[in-house]
Amino acid sequence: MNLRLALAAWLAATPVLAQPIDLNGHDVEVVDTEAGQALLVDGVKAHEDGVIYLDALPHEVGGATVLIGAAGSGGNSCNAGPFVLSLQGEAYRLDGPADSCAYLEQTIGTDAIDFVSEPSAAWEGQHWRWTPGGGLVMLDPVAFSPDPSRGWDQLDELEAAHPLDVFRFGPIADQMHMLLGEEEGDTFVDLLSGVGSGGLADPGYMGSAHEMDGSYAVVILDAATRQPYLAWAFAGGEMQTRPEGLESWSPGAIRALKTWSEAQ
């Protein structure tokens, strides 16, 4: 079950959730406050935050009846962190919200609930787990690993993809690492993790990302030559290219870079 789907369903069902949810005889509801919203259990405030989302249906996990939700300050800068409201015997307990801004998806198991974010070339994924006995704890991070089975023949999967997603394609990621080396590779990935966009375009795929100071990184994949072409620059600095020098680039890649540059 996807937490975001659950939250979307909750938002769509706001009129229904104006009524308290029955958690085995305990009334659970979210109400508006001067500070934002509050989670009430039998009229008593259990948590207050900027925004609080709550699944409409309880679950049975490890002998406990639970409601899953998320809470945070609101806005786009940080995702709401998940929490678990559990009823164990006659007492209820609130674990969380998790201290995380990551996009966490949930999996409900027989004895535990896992909240996991997808890793990328720029950062590790997070893994949080809730159990009735242990509460909500962060586990070891999820390492990023490119998929060796996805390469040039699956280029169409990059439609509307962020340029950082190119590193998920094992053979293409290997080519980019060969062009960049370790130090430049870290720099390029860091620049590419900024605000960006991309998609299928002549000569195959083109994407870019930028930082607030004007630094940027560009990825162009030429489907005909099966070669990645990379460019980046720090604020006010000279553009670096790999392969080095535009004379080493394919005509299609040069056209794509020119089109991108004219649009900036």
> Would you say 197 and 207 are in contact if contact means Cβ atoms under 8 Å apart?
yes
**Cβ-based neighbours of 178, under 8 Å, separated by 6 or more:** none
Provide the pLDDT for residue 153. 97
**pLDDT for the residue numbered 7:** 43
For residue 70 the two structure tokens come to: 């998320």
Q: What is the pLDDT of residue 88?
A: 80
- 24: its two tokens: 């085995």
* pTM, 2 dp: 0.80
Question: Mean pLDDT of successive 10-residue segments in the chain (264 residues)?
Answer: 40 49 90 93 94 93 95 88 90 94 95 97 96 97 96 97 97 97 94 94 96 95 97 93 96 96 90
Domain boundaries, the chain: 3-138, 152-263
pLDDT of residue 5: 40
Long-range CB contacts for residues 244-253, cutoff 8 Å, separation at least 24: 250/203, 250/222, 250/224, 250/225, 252/202, 252/203, 252/204, 252/222, 252/224, 252/225, 253/203, 253/220, 253/222, 253/225, 253/227, 253/229
